[in-house]
């Protein structure tokens, strides 16, 4: 077991020294997927599409999320194993902070806004 650990550590060390390499096929695949994933949301808004606003909004947000993953995989060459997993760990940590920042700000400020709205009855002098 110990010997096996040494061997795999050594292998990881070798991989560690090598930068993640992309291939021509990867870049072209990423580019084509990105073009498709960009064209659809722009078409939904620029073309005459009779979907409801909610459906369009949901679709373009989902497509954006998919496109971000495509960029991560095909352009940034992220794998769970790159840098012994530390790239993915730091990314997940950052994404948690991003979600807290965005959701927290929007949630709190939306309610502040609602509660701070001057009511007409209150603002009118009696």
Interacting residue ranges for other proteins, rule: CB under 8 A: 1-2, 5-6, 9, 13, 16-17, 19, 21-24, 26-28, 30-31, 34-35, 38, 41-42, 45-46, 53, 56-57, 60-61, 63-64, 67-68, 71-72, 75-76, 83, 86-87, 90-91, 93-94, 97-98, 101-102, 104-106, 109-110
Kindly compute the dihedral angle of the four CA atoms of residues 20, 65, 29, 89, in this order, to the nearest 10 degrees: 10
CB of residue 119 to other proteins, shortest distance in Å: 19
Considering the complex, state which of residue 4 and residue 126 has its C-beta at the smaller distance from other proteins: 4
- Written as one string, the DSSP assignment of 50-83 is ---HHHHHHHHHHHHHHHHHHIIIIIS---TTGG
How many CB atoms lie under 10 A from the CB of residue 37?
Answer: 20
CB of residue 19 to other proteins, shortest distance in Å: 5
Cα–Cα distance, 74 to 68 (Å, whole number): 10
CB of residue 98 to other proteins, shortest distance in Å: 4
Cα–Cα distance, 101 to 95 (Å, whole number): 10
Considering the complex, state which of residue 46 and residue 122 has its C-beta at the smaller distance from other proteins: 46
Considering the complex, state which of residue 68 and residue 123 has its C-beta at the smaller distance from other proteins: 68
Q: Is the Cβ–Cβ distance between 80 and 92 less than 8 Å?
A: no
């Amino acid at each position: 077991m110990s010997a096996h650990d040494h061997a795999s550590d050594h292998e990881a060390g070798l991989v560690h020294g090598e930068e993640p390499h992309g291939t021509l096929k990867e870049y072209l695949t990423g580019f084509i997927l990105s073009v498709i994933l960009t064209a659809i949301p722009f078409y939904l808004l620029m073309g005459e599409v009779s979907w409801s606003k909610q459906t369009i909004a949901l679709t373009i947000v989902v497509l954006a999320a998919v496109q971000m993953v495509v960029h991560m995989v095909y352009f940034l060459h992220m794998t769970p194993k790159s840098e012994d997993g530390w790239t993915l760990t730091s990314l997940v940590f950052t994404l948690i902070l991003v979600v807290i920042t965005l959701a927290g700000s929007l949630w709190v400020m939306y309610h502040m806004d609602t509660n701070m709205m001057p009511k007409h009855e209150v603002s009118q002098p009696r």
